[in-house]
Amino acid sequence: MISSIFSQLFQTLLIVVLAPLLLGWVNQCRAWLQNRRGAGVLQPYRVLHKLFHKDAVLADNASSLFRTAPYIQFACMVLVASIVPIVATDLPFAAAADVIALVGLFALARLFAALAAMDVGTAFGSMGARREMLVASLAEPALLMILFTPALIAHSTSLTTIVEALAHREVVLYPSLAFAAVAFAMVALAENARIPVDNPATHLELTMIHEAMILEYSARHLALIEWASAIKLSNYSAIGIALFLPWGIAGAGDWSGVPLALAVLFVKLLLGGAGLALLETLSAKLRIFRAPEFLGTAFLLAVLGMLMLEL
């Protein structure tokens, strides 16, 4: 029991602590691809350190919801990190939540982000909240359909059971997982405010979604939101690895396989971050009215993958 709790805390802290590093790696790779020097992979840590040491400035009409929303968003992302196996399947907390609850945690964080954006009554905050909920209404059903495909294969909605079924049994090729993987990549781009749905580096009022919702935040509140966004990106990367590239994740109680699992995890994250930077460099941002087409395609691919499994 002690070893299981240690494994739980280790994997949760691993995602929380290393999340800014993954974001810094993506930004650095994108800078290299654009023939720029870049700020370095540790720049997100410097930004967080600077924000945590500043004094917060709040609007006069900001309610308690505006103040507590960053903490709720951060807590939701940490809870998601606690139920996603990235190194080993020995996660005692994972039994309390399955993939459906995982989608619910993402939705809860988004709900408070949208409510807080509209709380102070600014035009940009309300505009960003409306756009965020538009993306959510299309991305969440697609994400559920994606998660149902590996759940049907493993006959369970628990992520640890799915990883055990896909990684620690005989090797079987499932064409349905290929459709689900493509759909998951499209949903992950939309959910993390990445190109082509959103541009995390823009501050153009008419095009931004996520950035429009956090314009009124500063200091520790903005730091928590930025940290939560980095953890969300890491969570989606961990979910993608657990569902579609689970090989290398150690089984429950297999402490001898943890060093190899860590090495394999870092390689997967490095390649995934470089691939994300390459995709963002080669792609252009879609118009907001084209986002339903993009996410509708992801939903159709997810449903097609699930139907192929049943057929």
The domains of the chain are located at 2-310
Q: Is the dihedral of CA 33, 38, 43, 44 positive or negative?
A: negative
- Which helix (H) or strand (E) segment holds residue 104: the answer is helix 99-119
Rounded mean pLDDT of 63-68?
Answer: 93
Provide the whole-model pTM: 0.94
Rounded mean pLDDT of 108-114?
Answer: 95
Rounded mean pLDDT of 74-81?
Answer: 95
The one-letter amino acid at 196: P
The model's pLDDT over 127-157, given as tens digits with 9 standing for 90+, comes to 989 999 999 999 999 999 999 999 998 888 9
pLDDT given at position 47? 96
Contact 103, 143 (CB under 8 A): yes
3-state secondary structure of 172: coil
Contact 45, 16 (CB under 8 A): no
CA end-to-end span of the chain: 41
pLDDT given at position 89? 86
Q: State the Cα–Cα distance between residues 187 and 189, nearest whole angstrom.
A: 5
Q: State the Cα–Cα distance between residues 247 and 166, nearest whole angstrom.
A: 8
Average pLDDT, the chain: 90
Tokens 């580096």 locate to 201
pLDDT given at position 205? 67
Question: Between the CA atoms of 171, 175, 178 and 180, what dihedral angle is there, to the nearest 10 degrees?
Answer: -110
